[in-house]
Amino acid sequence: MGGLAMEEMPLSALFEQARKIHLAASESGVDQDVVKKGCEMFQKCEDMIGKLALFSSNETKEDISTNNLKYLLVPYYLAELTEKIIQDDRIPIVKASYAKLKEFFSFCEAMELVPDEELEASSRGGSGAPADRRALKIARFKRQKAAEAKLLEIKERKERRGRSTKASALSTPVESGEEDIPDDDSEEEREAWLSSINLAICKAIDLLEMLKREEEMLSAIKERQLKDGEDGFSRDALDDRTKKAETWHRDAAARIQYSKPAQPITCATFAQDVLEGRASVSQGHDHKNQPLIFGPASIVGGPLSTERERMIAQVFQPSHRMPTMCIEDAGLTEMNIMNDWQEQTKKAIEEATTSWYNDKPLRRKEEDEEEDDEDEEAVMKARAFDDWKDDNPRGAGNKKLTPCG
């Protein structure tokens, strides 16, 4: 692979060669040309990963194949190699390395690889009680040591298996066709890469804090030097602003690969106004659409008083009535009308149901009272009639009509 150019190398070979440079630079000092060569290789890996679309925003670590897990470390390796570049102006190097580490951290967060306590600390922006920060650093150090121990264990296990395989191969003759049978260690390889990613996350968080402090110190020193009377203040400020804008656009292009898309603009007139600077995206549905005016009517100011002015304004006008709102506004208006109608219908049904429910016991009570009154009147009437019969026995008033009377 050493004879192939960088453009001709496959992604796996390019990543392994760049990873060797990163390992050599981490263990001992290497030449700056080699470090810059490794940065170019990792940048080429990033371009190839983006073109191949190996990762998606709706994936998690369980959805990524074992062969592609290692490519999650490309931004982290690139950040560490970039930080080792030596030049007179240190601030651009620190900013570039910091941006790549933030990209790596955001990518791991989208893939659900970052612990919850680290996410909470990142959302707080580093502020918090000293005891909480100390406990967080202790937990991070324990995770880092556990990841290193896991990687060492996997490495020793592979070495023992290799020695055992070599010894068995020397003692047992290899038959034809058996020498190319690979070991089924995909689970072990996946475990190793996940441990490497966890270790990189721990180191990246510490490196982010260190680079942030270094940038603040270098910026303070540069501002002090500029205040002391050095020339080229405006030029340096303009260059710094340009670099910030380029960094922002580059980071935004990298984040868009795994970030959720924004809500689309469904009103064509509003989209045109946003593109031409007459409105902002945050205004949303507050945008009011004005009817389009063609011909002389567009230059006539004030009310049309005479018949001549009205005839002039009608020249080159469309034969149909122009719309006063877009389709989105019309749909929202119809939706509001439908909601009002549903609320009124629901209110009327509730009132009718409540009235019928409340009137029924009242009507039943009134009927019961009327029945009680009628029963009392009948009883009194029967008693009065009984008293009258007692006072007037049957035939008592006809004594003079009898023959013996």
pLDDT tens, residue by residue, 313-329: 767 667 777 777 888 88
Q: What pLDDT score does 304 carry?
A: 57
CA distances from 127 to 122, 132, 215 (A): 9, 10, 18
The tokens describing 41, both together, are: 């290789």
Q: What pLDDT score does 340 carry?
A: 92
- CB-based burial, 26-62: b 16+ in 10 Å, e otherwise: eeeebeeeebebbbebbebbbebbeeeebbeeeeeee
Contacts 24+ apart (CB under 8 A), 2-7: 6/40, 6/41, 6/44, 7/44
In this predicted structure, the answer to whether residue 262 has a pLDDT above a threshold of 60 is no
**pLDDT tens string 14-33:** 888 888 888 888 777 778 88
pTM of the predicted model, to two decimals?
A: 0.53
Q: What is the DSSP string of 129-181?
A: -HHHHHHHHHHHHHHHHHHHHHHHHHHHHHHHHHHHHHHHHHHSPPPTT-TT-
In this predicted structure, the answer to whether residue 400 has a pLDDT above a threshold of 80 is no
DSSP-H helix ranges across 276-399: 307-313, 327-391
Q: Which residue has the tokens 């150090």?
A: 141
CA distances from 155 to 21, 148, 187, 198, 325 (A): 20, 11, 14, 17, 68
Helix or strand holding residue 249 (H, E): helix 233-255
Q: Label residue 72 exposed, middle or buried (CB < 10 Å: 0-12, 13-18, 19+).
A: buried
In this predicted structure, the answer to whether residue 185 has a pLDDT above a threshold of 70 is no
Mean pLDDT for the stretch of residues 210-229: 81
In this predicted structure, the answer to whether residue 263 has a pLDDT above a threshold of 60 is no
In this predicted structure, the answer to whether residue 292 has a pLDDT above a threshold of 60 is no
Q: What pLDDT score does 236 carry?
A: 65
Q: What pLDDT score does 181 carry?
A: 42
Q: What pLDDT score does 341 carry?
A: 92
Q: What pLDDT score does 176 carry?
A: 45
Give the Cα separation of 270 and 281 in Å (integer): 9
6-10, 141-145, 229-233, 368-372, range with greatest mean pLDDT: 141-145
**pLDDT tens string 65-76:** 888 888 888 888
Q: What pLDDT score does 56 carry?
A: 77
- CB-based burial, 261-293: b 16+ in 10 Å, e otherwise: eeeebebebbeebbeeeebeeeeeeebebeeee
